[in-house]
Amino acid sequence: MDHEHVREVDPAVADALAGERDRQEQTLAMIASENHVSEAVLEAQGSVLTNKYAEGYPGSRYYAGCEYADEVEELAIERAKELWGAEHVNVQPHSGTQANQAVYYSVLEPGDKILSLELNHGGHLSHGHPANFTGQLYDVEQYEVDPESGYIDYEGLRDTAESFDPDIIVSGYSAYPRTVDWEEIQAAADAVDAYHLADIAHITGLVAAGVHPSPVGVADFVTGSTHKTIRAGRGGIVMCDAEFADDVDAAVFPGGQGGPLMHNVAGKAVGFKEALQPEFEEYARNVVDNAEVLAETLREHGLSLVSGGTDNHLVLADLRDSHPDLSGGEAEDALAAANIVLNGNTVPGETRSPFDPSGIRAGTAGLTTRGFDADAVEEVGELIYRVVDDVDSDDVIYEVGERVVELCEAHPLYE
Ligand SMILES: *Cc1c(COP(=O)(O)O)cnc(C)c1O
């Protein structure tokens, strides 16, 4: 991976690519939405399929010469069906947001009503935030997590559904550390005759491996990303029952996108094949076990965790109890200086701004990919705490940063 051809044409970009590769090798990717794909997925994404127009779907394209594009997309679809058990799959969305866009576009009219989780409570921009098209095109109400427990307030959700009468209820979250009860949300949707979109962007891999319950067969629509807990390269996916297949396909193309990024579809096919191997289940289980170790370690040091812990790949620490003068942004900066890359994150009952929130969010999908076991993750938890507890100490940041590089060098990513 020395990008020799890029270097010949464009040394500036080659330098940036090499810098990014080194950054990934020498830092801990603990942003909960990030992971590391295999060289096989990288190769598929960097392939000649980037040259190919393939508007349409396998067997019915608007362009000639699509026989190999068809093969690749059919493989991606077949494998996705095997991984998640959906009746229909569309692998063309360029991102998770575009997968959601396709679902909304397939069943909603402008002005229709969306009921979704509040962003500060773990929701996502594409679930109706005012800065997103969803917040501008649709009428949005939000549900919340229980301020005491940090768990989804299912009762509040049902009440809001009754009074608001939404056309669609959105479940699935960006910063929610607990198991989601899909049936409970489906019941709320059924009670008001609303559709249910389960957006499993963060937990696509955990659901595929069976370490988180699946909404497939429960919710009407399931969307996901292909680059978070599954390692199939950047992109999105929509799954639904056969009855919605044509509408969803038409909403992806030509509704919301042009030609699919066939090189990314190839990456999805390869990453899905990897996820069908027995080792992937073990990987996903280790991701969850490692998150539990991380939660335990931070808790032992007195950090408050939203919901008290985790059932999935992420932990969300609310710094206000233990470190009232420290913002999530300040913690993020100090940790980044110590080679631990995670993000400041809003927390339920947020009292600071979204640009400098009160929490930090950390995930274990990336570390687990590079082979970190429970002991290594426990040490990482200790290192995180050392920095959080002493953000102004250059010595601590330096020492932790050096130790992180050692840990990274013991767990290399790419050859
Ligand atoms: C990450 C995420 C998405 C998808 O994001 P993209 O960046 O558009 O791929 C969608 N929904 C949720 C809940 C997410 O966390």
Instruction: Tell me the three state secondary structure of residue 412.
Output: coil
CA of 406 to the centre of ligand 1 (A): 32
The ligand 1 site (C-beta within 6 Å) comprises 33, 95-97, 124, 126, 172-174, 199, 201-202, 225, 236
Q: What domain count does the chain have? A: 2
Residue at 117: amino acid letter: L
CA of 410 to the centre of ligand 1 (A): 31
Q: Is the pLDDT of residue 374 over 90?
A: yes
Q: Is the pLDDT of residue 121 over 80?
A: yes
> What CA–CA distance (Å, rounded) separates 126 from 133?
8
> What CA–CA distance (Å, rounded) separates 41 from 24?
16
The secondary element (H helix, E strand) that includes residue 383 is helix 374-388
Contact 408, 338 (CB under 8 A): no
Give the CB-side neighbour count of residue 302, counting CA atoms within 13 A: 8
CA of 238 to the centre of ligand 1 (A): 12
pLDDT tier for residue 354 given thresholds of 50, 70 and 90: confident
**Residue 127 confidence (pLDDT):** 97
- 3-class SS letters over 52-96: CCCCEECCEECCCCCHHHHHHHHHHHHHHHHHHCCCEEECCCCCH
131-154: average pLDDT: 96
Domain of residue 82, CATH code: 3.40.640.10
Q: Which ligand 1 atom is at minimum distance from the Cα of 100? A: 10
Residues 227 and 302 occupy one common structural domain: no
- Tell me if the bond preceding 254 is cis, omega within 30° of 0: yes
298-312: string of b/e by CB count within 10 Å (b at 16+)? bbeeebbbbbebbbb
> What CA–CA distance (Å, rounded) separates 200 from 206?
9
Counting ligand 1 atoms within 8 A of each CB, the residue from 100, 125, 225 with the most, and so the one to mutate, is 225
Contact 158, 132 (CB under 8 A): no
Its pTM stands at 0.97
Domain end (from 275, 299, 321): 275
Convert the pLDDT of each residue in 200-218 to its tens digit: 999 999 999 999 999 999 9
Convert the pLDDT of each residue in 279-337 to its tens digit: 999 999 999 999 999 999 999 999 999 999 999 999 999 999 999 999 999 999 999 99
Tokens 């233990």 correspond to what residue?
A: 322
**Residue 180 confidence (pLDDT):** 98
Structural domain boundaries, residue 103: 43-275
Domain end (from 211, 243, 275): 275
- 12 in a structural domain: no
123 annotated as ligand-binding: yes
> What CA–CA distance (Å, rounded) separates 147 from 357?
17
- 81 in a structural domain: yes
**Residue 353 confidence (pLDDT):** 87
CB atoms within 10 A of CB 2: 10
CA of 6 to the centre of ligand 1 (A): 30
> What CA–CA distance (Å, rounded) separates 133 from 337?
35
Residues 218 and 292 occupy one common structural domain: no
Convert the pLDDT of each residue in 233-249 to its tens digit: 999 999 999 999 999 99
Counting ligand 1 atoms within 8 A of each CB, the residue from 152, 174, 239, 314 with the most, and so the one to mutate, is 174
